[in-house]
Amino acid sequence: MAMTIDPDACSVCGDCKPACPSGAVVKIKGIFSIDANVCDECDGDPQCMSVCPSDCIQPL
């Protein structure tokens, strides 16, 4: 499974991008998203979710 970002709740702060060890977080047209083909949920401890101030990152 993978994580996903709710674009309506995302503040586009960018904290999730450097926190992702697999490089799954991408910014396209000013919106952050998570590539489900790359995301491995950090083996059960999603780093992106732990740093998100908007709580907009959830399991897919």
Q: What is the 3-state secondary structure (H, E, C) of the chain?
A: CCEEECCCCCCCCCCHHHHCCCCCEEEECCEEEECCCCCCHHHHCCHHHHHCCCCCEEEC
The two structure tokens encoding residue 22: 């697999």
| Domains of the chain in sequence order | 3-59 (3.30.70.20)
List, for residues 2-60, the tens digit of each pLDDT value: 999 999 999 999 999 999 999 999 999 999 999 999 999 999 999 999 999 999 999 99
pTM of the model: 0.90
* Cα–Cα separations (whole angstroms), residue 46 to 29, 30, 53: 24, 22, 14
